[in-house]
Amino acid sequence: MGDVSSDVIAFVHARLDEEKAQAEKLPDLEDYSLDPWEICWEETGEWNSYAYLRIAKKRVLAEVEAKKGLLDEHTDVNDGSCGTCVDGHWGYPTHGGSSPQNYPCRTLRLLALPYREHPEFRPEWASGLG
């Protein structure tokens, strides 16, 4: 197994690429009735699937890009800590009261959490997240 930090980033990138590929298969007019901020709950009429959520294609694609941006924001500063996240009190680590979060930081692990049922998800990514 590789480095946990690079593994979580690769894992989330792969899931986001899958979501983007699925969304791009939909015709552009598929979500004509939904604004990007809306979620539609539709009854399916099947006993084992009472309803499903429909989200605008535009929103799915925007969320993928936003989450990839978050992945890019949380980088290892080559000492095993996140260059963005801190533990403790608010403030930059060199000004006292806080220290950098270990890498992969809580933000990266939270981005992986929705995929915890995926066979490649690693339990240590959920450690301490509740």
Residue pLDDT, tens place only, 35-75: 666 666 665 555 554 445 667 788 889 999 999 999 999 98
Which residue has tokens 């995929």? 115
Could you give the CA distance from residue 74 to residue 67 in angstroms, rounded to a whole number? 11
Whole-prediction pTM value?
0.76
The residue length of the chain stands at: 130
Which residue has tokens 């066979």? 119
Q: Please report the pLDDT score of residue 90 as a whole number.
A: 57
DSSP helix/strand/coil, 89? coil
Burial class of residue 86, CB neighbours in 10 A (0-12, 13-18, 19+): middle
